[in-house]
Structure 1
Amino acid sequence: MRIERLIAMANDIANYFTVEPDHATAVNGVRDHLTRFWDPAMRRELKAYVTDGGEGLLPLAHEAVDALVLPPN
């Protein structure tokens, strides 16, 4: 999948959680959504992108992707 699409999707999820008053809960909400509903290959691709800087991701999405624990390949 194109990284631009993954960025847009992650940002959409982060936008949903921006109304959450507790920041840690918002980060966990984004992370949990990515873990539950995204294919492992999509998570790996986005995690690698964040490792390289993550330009274009909203701060909440960036933080949630940083918190992802990826399964072994």
Structure 2
Amino acid sequence: MSNDAKLVRMANQIATFFHSQPAAEGPQGVATHINKFWEPRMRRQLFDIVDHRGGEGLDPLVLAAAPLIKRPAPDQSISQRA
């Protein structure tokens, strides 16, 4: 399983939990969880999937939460290697 597939699976598991909560709380709940527990590298990878792959494979609740998730700064280690 690729890193992207693992990350999509993890994000969708979070969304699955919040589907059992009141609908209005879902996006904020998903975003709060990801903001608290995912490191910047993971959030950067999530935004790569959302921005460049149209959110392929992500639960609609994760996509609804995306604007509430803290977008990390670009990875400086990649640009330093170039």
Same fold (TM over 0.5): yes
User: How much does 1:4 deviate?
Assistant: 0.4
Alpha carbon RMSD of aligned pairs, Å? Answer: 1.5
Query: Does residue 59 of structure 2 align to residue 58 of structure 1?
Result: yes
Amino acid in the other structure paired with 2:30: V
Alignment of 1:18-37 (within 5 A): 18-23=19-24, 25-37=25-37
Q: Which has the larger radius of gyration?
A: 2
User: How much does 1:67 deviate?
Assistant: 2.6
User: How much does 1:65 deviate?
Assistant: 2.3
Query: Which string of whole-angstrom CA distances, capped at 9 and with x for unpartnered residues, describes residues 1-39 of structure 1?
Result: 71100000000000000011232x110000000000011
TM-score (norm 2): 0.78
For structure 1, the 5+ residue unaligned runs are: none
Counterpart residue number, 1:68: 69
Cα distance in 2 for residues equivalent to 1:54 and 1:68:
14
Decide which structure has greater helix share.
2
